[in-house]
Structure 1
Amino acid sequence: MTPQRISIELTNQCSKHCHFCYNHSHHLGETRWQADELVDFIKDCAKSGTKAVSFGGGEPLEYPNLFEVLSELQGVLFRSITSNGLHLHGDLLEKLVIANPDKVHLSIHYPEQKEEVKRVINQVKLLDSLGIRSGINLLVPQSKLQVATQTSQMILEAGINRERIVYLPMRKMDTPTPQEMATVAGGKPFQSMTCLMQCGISSRFCSIAWDKTVAWCSYTVSRRSLPSLTAVSLDAILQNLPLVFCG
């Protein structure tokens, strides 16, 4: 059965170029997705049971056909994007509002950088005012637990409630424990990765990279190339696909 939720990396281009990026995105990145084939593929998956698609990268706002794809998929399934927010102003912001995604999550990659934290908080509030549902992904490295805790509190004090924050543990390096994550979240229920407690396959989710390789999650090195852009092909490639722990 086709996964209910699919994450698609539109590109590995990202001008932010974080050293810990799981797909090594950089400012000279590329994409292998054409807009029309991407739309047709997602529509085919929707017919087979996919309920939601999330677009990431790289930086999805650096994918030239993002707004065309979002518009073509309106009403087909739930559409969300995850962005660093650096380009979310001017013409791109206007186009995003017109494309009207169902949700936008902005990432705080460096909780110790107050300017980034303030920018993302202000952008989330701006999206709210423009009628775009939004939230924050807060990356938590083990070496920065105290400042991540302070950042979490700052977000909450800005009026962005816990239901709109996703606490993401740093993967592959500097990884906090689930208990440390709970401390950052203030000891109250919080949203995070499904693999926070234990690495494992979820048949309801898969990740497809910018180069059209498929995996059970964005972090694992265990991938297979998608031979054709159909739901049947996706279902077939997921059969017996292993999951290699990213830690």
Structure 2
Amino acid sequence: MKSRNGPNGVHLFDRISGLNLLLDELRPEETVWSTSPRQISVALTNVCDLHCAYCYAPKHKASLHTDQVLGWLKELDTEGCLGVGFGGGEPTLHPDFVDICKRVAGETQLAVTFTTHGHRLTPQLVERLKGSIHFARISVDGVGRTYEEQRGRQFSSLLKGMESIAALSPFGLNVVVNERTVAELDAMSELAQNVGASELLLLPQQATTAVASMDGVVGRALQVWVANYRGKVRLAVSEAGASGLPTCNPLPDERGLQAYAHIDASGTLRASSYSPAGAKIGDAGVLSALQRLRNTFEVQGETQS
């Protein structure tokens, strides 16, 4: 098991089983806390073959180089990071996607996960990824016609992708919650259970240049639905938009850049994929950029969460 020191104790993590243990009776001194974020997400590319209005990913073309990604993740791995989530854009469109996943799984102790729209998950791709992925997520914004109108792809094609991913690793479903999808949360919960998903991740819609944030009416409907949820699939919610929803945080003192950071497809480190502030990762490496970003927030008197 990999260990990580933090303000809440010694965190032990097994990437194969997903088991987490917190030894909270052990409180390491701050001088030995792990300096990496607990989790890092990496947008391998901005390229995507879907055009969802609520997508927050930058629309300029950019992709990361394989050796850059491996170098940064090895740095973070040695300083206590536990897992990486690859996204985009659509990460499976990166020409070295399989090689990156294999090398990270083989050359680091990081748990490797990725988020995909699911339409490129052929049996051939899944076979090449086997042994390199510890968890995967498929974005499912509505069912049937709602999905097809929001995503512009056939729902039946998505179901084929789910069949393929079930043979790869444990997986979860993601849903952007907006005025269309909030009425279909029961259907998506049932779908998640039927296809064998272990988690349903709720992503309250954030503002983009094309759409507004989830409004108060939808927010209240989401709160009611969560309060009355009795499904068997575990619920999770993104930190952005979690206000008003019941959450469980076993590491309450591990916040901001201690808990999470994001690397965009241009090689800039950010507090999250939504954050406008960032630090370009240069020759000094990702940990140097992380310290510069922390210094920026300290100067501004901000707490990033």
What TM-score do you get using the length of structure 1 for normalisation?
A: 0.82
Q: Which structure 2 segments of 5+ residues have no match? A: 1-34, 244-254
Kept in 2, the 8 Å contact 1:17–1:25? The answer is no
Post-superposition offset of 1:210: 0.1
- Aligned mate of 1:193, from 238, 241, 256: 238
Kept in 2, the 8 Å contact 1:124–1:134? The answer is no
Post-superposition offset of 1:14: 0.4
User: 5 Å matches for 1:98-247?
Assistant: 100-111=132-143, 112-113=146-147, 116-128=154-166, 130-146=167-183, 148-156=184-192, 158-160=194-196, 163-172=198-207, 173-176=212-215, 178-185=219-226, 187-188=228-229, 190-198=235-243, 201=256, 203-228=258-283, 230-242=285-297
> Which deviations, in whole Å up to 9, do the C-alpha atoms of 1:125-155 show, x marking residues without a partner?
4322x24221111111135421x32432431
Counterpart of 1:86, as a letter, is: H
SS where residue 142 of structure 1 aligns?
Answer: coil
SS where residue 113 of structure 1 aligns?
Answer: helix
Over aligned residue pairs, what C-alpha RMSD do you find? 2.8
* 1:229/1:81 CA distance change after superposition, 3 Å: farther
- Aligned mate of 1:40, from 55, 71, 78: 71
Q: Which residue of 1 aligns with 2:102?
A: 71
Query: How much identity, in percent, do the aligned residues show?
Result: 19
* 1:227/1:116 CA distance change after superposition, 3 Å: same
Q: Distance in 1 between matches of 2:200 and 2:296?
A: 31
Kept in 2, the 8 Å contact 1:152–1:184? The answer is no
Q: Which structure 1 segments of 5+ residues have no match? A: none
Post-superposition offset of 1:215: 1.3
SS where residue 85 of structure 2 aligns?
Answer: strand
* 1:150/1:206 CA distance change after superposition, 3 Å: same
Kept in 1, the 8 Å contact 2:82–2:111? The answer is yes
Q: Distance in 1 between matches of 2:213 and 2:41?
A: 24
Q: Which residue of 1 aligns with 2:57?
A: 23
Counterpart check, 1:88 vs 2:108: no
Q: Distance in 2 between matches of 1:226 and 1:232?
A: 9
SS where residue 52 of structure 2 aligns?
Answer: coil
* 1:70/1:153 CA distance change after superposition, 3 Å: closer
* 1:45/1:63 CA distance change after superposition, 3 Å: same
Of 223-232 and 136-145, deviating more is 223-232
Kept in 2, the 8 Å contact 1:48–1:231? The answer is no
> Which deviations, in whole Å up to 9, do the C-alpha atoms of 1:161-186 show, x marking residues without a partner?
5x411111111124155543234457
Larger relative contact order (CA 8 Å, sep ≥ 6): 1
Of 234-243 and 131-140, deviating more is 234-243
Counterpart of 1:213, as a letter, is: T
Kept in 1, the 8 Å contact 2:37–2:259? The answer is yes
Say which one has the larger Rg.
Answer: 2
Q: Distance in 2 between matches of 1:150 and 1:136?
A: 13
Q: Distance in 1 between matches of 2:284 and 2:265?
A: 13
